[in-house]
Structure 1
Amino acid sequence: MRVPFVKRKSTARRSRLRAAWVVPLAIAGIVVPVPAASAAVVDTNASYVLVNRNSGKALDVYNLATNDGARISQYTRNDGAWQQWQFVDSGGGYYRLKSRHSGKVLDFPSTADRAGLIQWSDHNGTNQQFRLADSAGGFVRLLNRASGKAVDVLDFSTADGAQLIQWPDTGGANQQWQLVKLGADTTSPTAPANPRTSNLTCSSVTLSWSASTDDVGVAFYDIYHDGQQMTSVPGSSLSANLTVVPGATWGLYVNARDAAGNVSQASPTVTITVPQCQADTQPPTTPTGVTATAAGTTVTLRWSPSTDNVGVTGYEIVRGGVQVGSVTGAATGSFTDSGLTANTRYEYQVRARDAQGNRSGLSAPVAVTTGSACATAICAVTVAATDTDLPWGLTSLPDGQVLYSRRDAFDIVRLNPATGAKTSIGRVPNAAGTDGEGGVMGIAVAPDFAADPWVYVMHTSPTDNRVVRLRYTGGVLTGAPQVLLAGIPRNKYHNGGRLRFGPDGKLYVATGDGQNGTWAQDRTNLAGKVLRINPDGTVPADNPFGNAVWSYGHRNPQGLAFDSQGRLWEQEFGNSVMDETNLIVRGGNYGWPRCEGTSGSCAEPGFIAPKRTYPTAEGSCSGIAIVRDALYIACLRGARMYRAEISGSELVNVQQHLNGTYGRLRAVEPSADGGLWLTTSNLGDKDSVPNNSNERVLKVTLGR
């Protein structure tokens, strides 16, 4: 039986071993095989992924480590830099395999059977040299020059993280590797076309599409609904059978991906409405036991849960005959109504609903009178403006007026809070939609705006996402935009988009992964990151990686805010399990795509855990703001605003407000008077059609 991986000896011990390998091998009687003729040809200017024949998984730097002695394992192929290897010619038919991620080479610490494969600084020793021995089917074996033994997956394992060792050359499938050349391919496939559905049932649907083209070849198709990845299929497939949820309305689309990890733009979206699995015309029972209590200008309702022949899915709250909120879940029995008028009598009723839209009767009314003053966090909410487009980003000017971006209309509006008057200050040149969530997104102004009036904008162009700035002169945007940062990958979804100036005077930028999780871990790529630049677009000298990257391993961050200690908090969309709130540190790795919130390979060393997570059904949160060290989080799918107090480095006393009252909430920003600005995103937020919405800009007055 093979023994487990043994940790490498100290550097001093290793130096002595190295000398023994290089010179005295013949004296010790060890015969090193002479390289045999091999048809395997490698391009020393390219990068390769090595895929094991037995497991189908790639040779991988375990835990994305960069240190000498880090273990090499196998892992599900994702074509990240930690799975990319360059062949460096050592002469005589031997090569060293250099990691694109760490710059170190593959290395065996001894010539013994079962010695674990590691990475080590390149010294061109024979223990770091390998020749390629052909196997059937285009696979090769990697034979070490010092030992003559093959790189082998321990015990024929097919598990992620399985150790790689050396073992006498048997030619087994666990010793055979496919060389997938990446370095020469930087061209993305074309977008898949003509998506269409068939065989729709209450639990499944078939999605088909027309093939993409690629200069090398399409390796995979990735299928999404509304920005959430559902599955991937091989590039030879032009359809996929998908699991769906009864009653859901989903927008399905597909991306093409090649072996080098290049991802296409998305196909058009095809919308499906999934039927229920059984007819249901019976409404839930009417809620009973409804009570209402007031604390200042906030009212809390409670009731006993209803029953249903199939299942209750939620409740609707009616105030004065008008629905003002909703909650989800069969067992839910409470609702908080915030921002009411002091010394005012309100009457409430509650009704239950099921998955097919059957609604119970209204409960018996219950009346309550609010107190004389606000005693809670949310004191009042008023509508400051409405808009037919999506108010995506928002910022305040020194004079108290507000600028907000209209995502799909590509312009920026100035709002006078005192009068409600709105004025377009100009359209952002070269902006483009993505038939999804791209367009004109985050905006910001620097603290010295009065003296140096630039408006900073992140927007999607026809080719990328970029950060620009435009002069604000005479109340309008003037001149051509100055491009500060370009080349941020774009796609239908996952564009990020938030901008925030820090107390250090630097501009922080949230970027999505462009629907390519590999990019989030690639520190040379601007996707899936929090970026940090100077106001003129140059890179600060103290950035951790010598480029604009400040932190990495993010999926789709859209919230940035600084607390009173100057620390940066970030809000990030998960895929299908959970969203997360993170405290960002310089150079930090937040785990995507291996880790989603606390789900997945989150225990790997080097990953930074979120401070709080939220089920996606209760989250899909976009913007965040901090006022008096309370964090406010605006949520889309969750249709609510969370409030959490910052205590040390943790979030405590988490509350929910405006649950269902205004629908999907996108941006939340501090106001000049110590309150909040809040925007909705209820209609047309998953397309790029301008002026097909009916949204509100809300002013929130805060209490304690």
Structure 2
Amino acid sequence: MSQTRFRHARPGLSRLAATALLLTLMLATACGSSSATATATTGAEASVPTATDAPADPTPTTPPTPEATPTATAAATPEPTAAPTGPVAWTVETFVSGLEIPWEMRFLPDGRIFVTERPGRVRVIENGQLRPEPVATIPDVAPVGEGGLLGMALHPDFANNHWIYFYYTYQSGGGVANKVVRYTETNNTLVDPVVILDGIPGAQIHDAGRLGFGPDGKLYITTGDAAQPELAQDTNSLAGKILRLNDDGSVPPDNPFPGSPVYSYGHRNPEGLAWEPGTNALYATEHGPSAHDEVNQIQPGANYGWPIMQGNEGPNNGYTLPVIESGTDTWAPSGATFVQGNTFPQWTGSLLFGSLRGTTLWRLDIPGGGSPPNLEAIISGDYGRLRNVVEGPDGYIYILTSNRDGRGDPASDDDRILRIVPQQ
């Protein structure tokens, strides 16, 4: 609930001072001296309403706007006050339906939207409509367990080079592994595959798979521990890590481990990446072992403790602790985004992330300066498993469901892309 605080205007002269001034003026007039004047200074201060408690109901109403406190100046002209921004009422609508386990969506500069489906298809949405034929079906995708076609990222110069990157699972020997492949998009087709990185350990579970280009122009990749927890502590392994590469797959010279793509380690299954506007700080969401799910701020070379630590639990021998963890609750957090626009000012600057088992869209406010973070549920339990959340160029919030992944209870139109829009 938003709060508005006003401080009433205070007289610039006390009653006693005014009486004394009146006597002085009367005496001066009686003595024939020139008249004296005094100006009473008045002022008012109004804070802009803030919304820290966005409602969990998907169709809340806007709270009434409080009446402004009157202000005055010596010339009787009202002082201008800041317009309240207040919470914006919102509702949830279905944007696209009929998908099969969507994992990632990206907005192209020309208005198209690409969506990955875990069985190996890349779908395209044009003019708000899902085209029946996929842009591509990647032939060597192995949709095994939690694996398949997962993350996707557009090159920062996509408008010119049309490079698009995918993370997916493939058959390797008697098991599976994961790799990152770059394609060139042309006329709704994908051509010229180039392997950027392969041999990332894979398994039935904990394949991670999020991709994102950071503000530094580098490609960041999340990997799971592939059901081998000890690999997360091994900096010679690509499992249980956040990796950082140049756009051609080479290792940046300023990576924390020379010649290695490893950027941070000690991760169990990080599925969300997001950069904070203004600070460019990198945050990642991470699955715990049925509890102690985490949101971490990622530092180069840092060890996040898995499997020795779970959240804040365990012997902390210099491990980097999470910004927040779920304790004994389970979120199963996945995709994340920082809200940058002002369509919903109550969320601007906050980190949104979806949760699978928790079936909740969470908002995390990270105030900094030593203040504790604040976590609240925006949507909870209404739409099933939530795989990803993305802020669109229109300022709306897009959410991917994951109810056909074998662990959900799909509705007839699942899986879907939901959209949070201002309520009319």
| TM-score bracket relative to the smaller structure | 0.7 to 0.9
1:671 matched to 2:381: no
Counterpart in 2 of 1:561?
Answer: 274
The DSSP-based 3-state class of the residue aligned with 2:230 is helix
Query: Which of 426, 432, 442 does residue 136 from structure 2 map onto?
Result: 426
Where does residue 642 of structure 1 map in the other structure? 362
* Alpha-carbon contact 1:502-1:508 (below 8 Å) kept: yes
User: Matched residues in 1 for 2:232 and 2:88: separation?
Assistant: 36
User: Structure 1 CA distance, aligned partners of 2:328 and 2:273?
Assistant: 19
Partner of 1:395: 106
Equivalent-residue separation in structure 1 for 2:203 and 2:99 (angstroms): 24
2:304 is the alignment partner of 1:590: yes
- In structure 1, distance between residues paired with 2:317 and 2:308: 9
Q: 1:443 to 1:339 in 2, by over 3 A?
A: farther
- Alignment check: 8 A CA contact 2:154 2:165 kept: yes
User: Contact 2:124–2:130 at 8 Å: present in 1 too?
Assistant: no
> For residues 656 and 422 of structure 1, do their structure 2 counterparts lie closer, same or farther at Cα, with a shift above 3 Å needed?
farther
Q: Does 1:446 align with 2:155?
A: yes
Tell me what 1:467 maps to: 180
Q: Structure 2 length normalisation: TM-score?
A: 0.74
Mark the CA change 1:462 to 1:420 in structure 2 (over 3 Å): closer, same or farther.
Answer: closer
Offset of 1:395 from its aligned partner? 1.3
Change in Cα spacing, 1:702 to 1:633, as seen in structure 2 (3 Å) is farther
* Mapping for residues 1-150 of structure 1, pairs under 5 Å: none
- Counterparts of 1:345-494 in structure 2 under 5 Å? 375-376=86-87, 379-408=90-119, 410-416=120-126, 418-419=128-129, 421=131, 423-434=133-144, 436-463=145-172, 464-479=177-192, 481-494=193-206
Cα distance in 1 for residues equivalent to 2:113 and 2:328: 31
How far 1:663 sits from its partner (Å)?
1.1
Distance 2:356 2:89 in 1: 19
Closer, same or farther: CA 377–662 of 1 in aligned 2, 3 Å: farther
Q: Relative to 1, partners in 2 of residues 1:379 and 1:422: Cα closer, same or farther, differing over 3 Å? A: farther
CA distance in 1, matches of 2:353, 2:310: 19
- Give the superposition deviation at 1:677: 1.5
Please state whether the residue corresponding to 2:377 is helix, strand or coil.
strand
Supply the RMSD in Å over aligned alpha carbons.
Answer: 2.7
Contact 1:510 1:531 in 2 (8 A): yes
> Identical aligned pairs, as a percentage?
37
Residue 516 of structure 1 pairs with residue 228 of structure 2? yes
- Could you tell me how far apart the structure 2 residues matched to 1:414 and 1:388 are? 11
Counterpart Cα distance in 2 of 1:528 and 1:458: 15
Following TM superposition, by how much is the alpha carbon of 1:651 offset from its aligned partner in structure 2, in angstroms? 6.0
Q: Deviations over 1:647-673 (max 9, x none)?
A: 227663321011111111001112112
Q: Are residues 426 and 670 of structure 1, via their aligned partners in 2, closer, same or farther at CA, if it must alter by over 3 Å?
A: same
Find the counterpart in structure 2 of residue 502 from structure 1: 214
Separation (CA, whole Å) in 2 of partners of 1:383 and 1:518: 42
Measured after TM superposition, the shift of residue 415 of structure 1 is 1.2
**TM-score (ref. length: structure 1):** 0.45
Which segments of 5 or more consecutive residues in structure 1 lack a partner in the other structure?
1-293, 296-334, 344-372
CA shift, 1:336, in A, is 2.7
Please state how far the C-alpha of 1:517 moved relative to its aligned partner: 0.9
Aligned to 1:303: none
Contact 2:96 / 2:129 at 8 angstroms: preserved in 1? no
C-alpha separation in 2, matches of 1:620 and 1:695: 18
Counting only pairs closer than 5 Å after superposition, residues 510-549 of structure 1 correspond to structure 2 as 510-546=222-258, 547-549=260-262
Q: 1:600 aligns with which of 311, 314, 333?
A: 314
User: Quick one: which amino acid aligns to residue 294 of structure 2?
Assistant: E
Cα gap change, 1:640/1:505 in structure 2, threshold over 3 Å: closer, same or farther? Answer: same
Aligned-pair CA distance for 1:422: 5.4
User: Could you tell me how far 1:576 is from its partner in structure 2?
Assistant: 2.5
User: Corresponding residue for 2:27?
Assistant: none
User: Residue 451 of structure 1 aligns to a residue in which SS?
Assistant: helix
Given that 1:390 and 1:693 are in contact with CA atoms closer than 8 Å, whether structure 2 keeps it comes out as no
Q: Deviations over 1:263-310 (max 9, x none)?
A: xxxxxxxxxxxxxxxxxxxxxxxxxxxxxxx99xxxxxxxxxxxxxxx
Structure with more of its chain in strand, by fraction: 1
Q: Distance in 1 between matches of 2:236 and 2:413?
A: 38
| Partner in structure 1 of residue 331 of structure 2 | 619
Q: Deviations over 1:111-170 (max 9, x none)?
A: xxxxxxxxxxxxxxxxxxxxxxxxxxxxxxxxxxxxxxxxxxxxxxxxxxxxxxxxxxxx
- Return the alpha-carbon distance in structure 2 between the equivalents of residues 598 and 617 of structure 1: 13
Q: How many aligned residue pairs are there?
A: 336
Q: Is the 8 A contact 1:511 1:530 kept in 2?
A: yes
- Does 2:395 match 1:681? no
Alignment map for 1:135-284 (pairs within 5 Å): none
Question: What residue is the counterpart of 2:291 in the other structure?
Answer: 577
Residue 375 of structure 1 and its aligned partner are, at CA, apart by 4.7
Distance in 1 (CA, whole Å) between partners of 2:406 and 2:413 is: 8
- Point out the structure with max Rg over C-alpha: 1
Kindly tell me: are residues 513 and 378 of structure 1, through their superposed partners in 2, closer, same or farther at Cα, counting changes over 3 Å?
Answer: farther
Q: What amino acid sits opposite 1:509 in the alignment?
A: I
Q: Deviations over 1:326-385 (max 9, x none)?
A: xxxxxxxxx831345879xxxxxxxxxxxxxxxxxxxxxxxxxxxxx9953662321111
Question: 1:393 Cα shift?
Answer: 1.3
Q: CA deviation at 1:474?
A: 1.2
Give the SS at the match of 2:195.
strand
CA distance in 2, matches of 1:600, 1:381: 40
Deviations for 1:449-484, whole angstroms, at most 9, x for unmatched residues? 0101011000001021001111101121123x2110
